[in-house]
A and B are shown apart, each in its own frame.
Chain A
């Protein structure tokens, strides 16, 4: 009964038809700009639902505590296309008065953040950008290099606008390499005396960044390794693309037409829409080479499309959830709200919204603003780390945790937000660290078969307890 009531409450809060003005008696509104893919290659409806849940949680607590400020979501479709994402960001900030942008992929995040560095004053967003599905190791990297000075500046994040609630692929790359080189004779599983790894990736910042990180780590782990990198056009029509031809390239005894050796493994790095085509062609080819997927394979559409054919397929990803009360509260409320358990990146989407909202409230309180709705993007940015004070009281995701967070903020006491996806401790770059997982498709579901804790140690040691299937 309690769950049903909670579901009704959340629906009333989050599912009201768009176009209505927020009901904040004599109060103000802080707008969050949701700039995620609704129609493109990574569109995942549950991400938006998770953001709505976070906003519903915050507004519920604000009402109960007698505060008059409320949060509101203004939405634009990124399309997982940088040009579209940039146009959406400008509309959200300049026309909808969004005080923060929550976006998705690496290319969208980079494209949007470039607006802050292109020298055009009318493009300057001046609001924090929090991406929840951008994993390129080049993002938030002070040493990032790029031929385009604007892009390089955005990658280096010198103005500090960029944050992410998902881990850099640098961690996952190390884990993939360790897993592959630990198999057979230092990675040589086909017994030809060589370790050859073929990496198939999307031709975009995410694909290149992740592929290059794996290559670099593989050469450190096995200096004599043969690494082949093949990329596909991210603007290709997946229904018409010749996936079989690319499968043939990554599984043959050549690297870029030069004869060498049969690969011991193929690592696939692309978006779900493309992963469907590549995986289908790979399985149809009958190749015996080990195929290792990465995090974007972990999408509902993969199993919905490929069904039983992907049973047993394996891959690596960030863990779907963090640990403890925060993950539990998020899971229960999302299930109550949508009827579905959390999907991959749902927790990161929730945390992106929640960290921004807590930072906004924290900034308004610390600056003694008469109206929290007057908080600026810069003030929110500057407070993003203040909600993760290691000396502060730990507060979890979910209404109980948010209620306690508001009490602490009002009392001027430090707090340490524990997110649904992990601790969400933004480092000096704007990055977070969480847990990784090795997953497998079992019984038509993605199941974590091993977890690796990068919070305890940068080597991401395995967590020695069998992870629950999710």
Chain B
């Protein structure tokens, strides 16, 4: 597992399907360098009247000693 900082999620390493040899590896390397360069620059409307009964109590918190 590795953390993908682009979309802030964990991803399995092998899901990235990186080519392992030849031109594929070069393409991946170039893509990686390009990405690194870029990175471096860089409830229902309440309009009806509420019906619930509400008890309001004022709990005074006066001068503390």
> Does A114 sit at the interface, judged by CB under 8 A?
yes
Chain A residue contacts of B46, Cβ below 8 A:
82-83, 86, 111, 114-115, 118, 123, 150
> Does B59 sit at the interface, judged by CB under 8 A?
yes
- Interface contact A221-B9, CB-CB below 8 Å: yes
A258 to chain B, nearest CB (A): 25
Chain A residue contacts of B11, Cβ below 8 A:
220-221
A121 to chain B, nearest CB (A): 12
Write the A193-226 contact mask toward B (1 if CB under 8 angstroms, else 0).
0000000000001000000000011001111000
- Interface contact A221-B61, CB-CB below 8 Å: no
Cβ-neighbour of A52 out of B44, B61, B65 (below 8 A): B61
| Chain A interface category by residue count | 35 or more
Write the A321-350 contact mask toward B (1 if CB under 8 angstroms, else 0).
000000000000000000000000000000
Q: Which of B11-30 contact A (CB under 8 A)?
A: 11-12, 15
Interface size counted on chain B using CB atoms at 8 A:
32
Q: Which of A6-14, A299-307, A365-373, A408-416 contacts B (4 or more CB under 8 A)?
A: A6-14
> Does A191 sit at the interface, judged by CB under 8 A?
no
Bound complex: CA A60 to CA B64 (Å): 5
- Interface contact B50-A87, CB-CB below 8 Å: yes
- Interface contact B54-A91, CB-CB below 8 Å: yes
- Interface contact B54-A87, CB-CB below 8 Å: yes
- Interface contact A83-B52, CB-CB below 8 Å: yes
> Does A385 sit at the interface, judged by CB under 8 A?
no
Q: A77-B55, A84-B54 are in contact. Are A13 and B7 (CB under 8 A)?
A: no
Bound complex: CA A60 to CA B65 (Å): 6
Cβ-neighbour of A174 out of B9, B58, B65 (below 8 A): B9
Bound complex: CA A344 to CA B14 (Å): 38
Bound complex: CA A6 to CA B54 (Å): 34
Chain A residue contacts of B57, Cβ below 8 A:
18-19, 74-75
Most-contacted residue by chain A among B4, B56, B59 (CB, 10 A): B59
- Interface contact B8-A174, CB-CB below 8 Å: yes
Chain B residue contacts of A276, Cβ below 8 A:
none
> Does A71 sit at the interface, judged by CB under 8 A?
yes
Bound complex: CA A430 to CA B50 (Å): 27
Q: Which of A20-28, A417-425, A438-446 contacts B (4 or more CB under 8 A)?
A: A20-28
> Does A56 sit at the interface, judged by CB under 8 A?
yes
Q: Which residue of A lies closest to B49 (CB)?
A: A87
Chain A residue contacts of B8, Cβ below 8 A:
170, 174, 458
- Interface contact B4-A79, CB-CB below 8 Å: no
- Interface contact A24-B62, CB-CB below 8 Å: yes
Q: Which residue of B lies closest to A149 (CB)?
A: B45
Cβ-neighbour of B62 out of A20, A123, A177, A181 (below 8 A): A20
A73 to chain B, nearest CB (A): 5
- Interface contact B61-A114, CB-CB below 8 Å: no
Bound complex: CA A20 to CA B59 (Å): 7
Q: A114-B45, A221-B11 are in contact. Are A22 and B50 (CB under 8 A)?
A: no
Bound complex: CA A230 to CA B62 (Å): 48
Given contacts A72-B60, A96-B58, A220-B11, 12 further A-B contacts (CB under 8 A): A12-B64, A70-B62, A70-B63, A72-B61, A74-B56, A76-B56, A84-B54, A111-B43, A220-B9, A222-B12, A458-B8, A459-B5
Minimum-distance CB pairs A-B, first 8: A87-B50, A60-B64, A13-B64, A84-B52, A459-B3, A23-B62, A220-B9, A20-B60
